[in-house]
């Protein structure tokens, strides 16, 4: 159980064991009986719960009680509408599936309404977890990604995976993230392409990842010219819209012909749910909030703590 690739069932069992042992103060033998597992399995579950941050044991000075981050306080600090927190920090991305599901259920999508999804490793991994059933909705990508060498940059595949498990209808963009000038002009005349990009203007919900600073990433869309000097100042991106520390737009060679939803279109989506966690994403989350590129956030406790200690209200 030393891997970070825990299933939803693993995490639930871990949480049950930790709750019974630490909160209800049952012995490990009694926990094993309740969960119908062996005593050594309980010991491993508790150790793994501590390792990934599901259980955090701290020692505080007298008069300085520990206080978990308040989602409402974090939302206020970022200037957004709502925050959902995974119940621990430094866990696998699959641990964010439950709060993402809660955020999607809160959106109350109806058949025929549009859910947009971005590319990126976080959303890609979420598309392979258990998300809510959303029968009859339309799922569409926010960026091009045909011919990308890594699956998390192939937005069509993310759309397909989410639509399949949700009982939804997928729509695809058969275009590169940065096509040639000739191809970009051709796409603008293509009815299927225009059908998808038209959805960007009437979507009710967007589920998007927030990219870390380009200089710190080991994986990036093949379309992005990483040697461009302007990208060295970027602290992150949403849907391949790169931004600086104050949320200012970062342009680069070819950015004018990118196949991507625009910042203005993102701001017009009623519920834009950003999903991001990790110390390397803190500055990216804060800058994207400055840019008003999302109005809802799913993250974990540790990331929330770091945001609250490094930001002033926006």
Q: Map out the domains of the chain with their CATH numbers.
A: 1-66 (1.10.10.60), 71-310 (3.40.50.1360)
Please give the span between the terminal C-alpha atoms of the chain, in angstroms, as a whole number. Answer: 40
What's the Cα-to-Cα distance from 2 to each of 19, 20, 49, 88, 139, rounded to whole Å? 20, 22, 11, 17, 35
Run of H or E residues at 243: strand 241-243
Three-state DSSP class for residue 236: strand
CB 143 within 8 A of CB 110: no
Checking if the pLDDT of 49 tops 90, the result is no
Strands 205-209 and 169-170, how do they pair?
unpaired
- The pLDDT of residue 63 is 46
Bigger pLDDT: 10 or 146? 146
Let me know how long the chain is. Answer: 314
- The pLDDT of residue 58 is 59
- Count CB atoms within 10 A of the CB of residue 273: 23
Query: Per-residue pLDDT averaged across 16-20, rounded?
Result: 89
Q: Diameter of the chain by CA atoms?
A: 69
pTM reported for the whole predicted model? 0.80
* Alpha-carbon gap, residue 109 to 104, rounded angstroms: 8
Three-state DSSP class for residue 86: strand
- The pLDDT of residue 314 is 61
In this structure, what token pair is assigned to residue 20?
A: 């019974």
Checking if the pLDDT of 234 tops 70, the result is yes
Three-state DSSP class for residue 300: strand
| Contacts with 107 (C-beta within 8 Å, 6 or more apart), sequence order | 204, 205, 271, 273
* Alpha-carbon gap, residue 191 to 220, rounded angstroms: 29
Checking if the pLDDT of 125 tops 90, the result is yes
């Amino acid at each position: 159980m030393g891997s970070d690739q825990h299933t939803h069932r693993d995490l639930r069992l871990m949480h049950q064991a930790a709750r019974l042992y630490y909160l209800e103060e049952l012995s490990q033998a009694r926990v094993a009986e309740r969960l119908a597992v062996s005593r050594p399995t309980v010991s491993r579950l508790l150790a793994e719960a501590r390792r990934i941050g599901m259980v955090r044991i701290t020692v505080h000075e007298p008069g300085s009680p520990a206080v978990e981050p308040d989602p409402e306080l974090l939302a206020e600090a970022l200037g957004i509408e709502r925050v959902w927190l995974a119940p621990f920090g430094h866990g696998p991305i699959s641990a964010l599936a439950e709060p993402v599901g809660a955020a999607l259920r809160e959106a109350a999508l109806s058949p025929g309404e549009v859910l947009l999804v971005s590319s990126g490793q976080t959303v890609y991994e979420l598309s392979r977890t258990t998300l809510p059933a959303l029968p009859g909705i339309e799922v569409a990508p926010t960026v091009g990604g045909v011919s990308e060498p890594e699956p998390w940059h192939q937005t069509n595949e993310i759309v397909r995976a989410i639509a399949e498990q949700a009982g939804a209808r997928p729509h695809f963009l058969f275009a590169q993230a940065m096509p040639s000038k000739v191809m970009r002009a051709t796409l603008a005349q293509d009815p299927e392409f225009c059908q998808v990009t038209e959805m960007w203007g009437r979507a009710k919900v967007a589920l998007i990842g927030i990219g870390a600073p380009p200089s710190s990433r080991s994986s990036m869309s093949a379309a992005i010219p990483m040697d461009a000097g302007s990208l060295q100042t970027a602290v992150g991106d949403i849907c391949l819209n790169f931004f600086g520390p104050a949320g200012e737009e970062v342009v680069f060679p070819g950015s004018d012909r990118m196949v991507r939803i625009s910042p203005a279109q993102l701001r017009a989506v009623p519920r834009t749910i950003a999903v991001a966690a990790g110390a390397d994403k803190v500055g990216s989350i804060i800058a994207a909030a400055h840019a008003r590129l999302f109005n809802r956030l799913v993250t974990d406790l540790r990331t929330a703590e770091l945001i609250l200690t490094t930001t002033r209200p926006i």
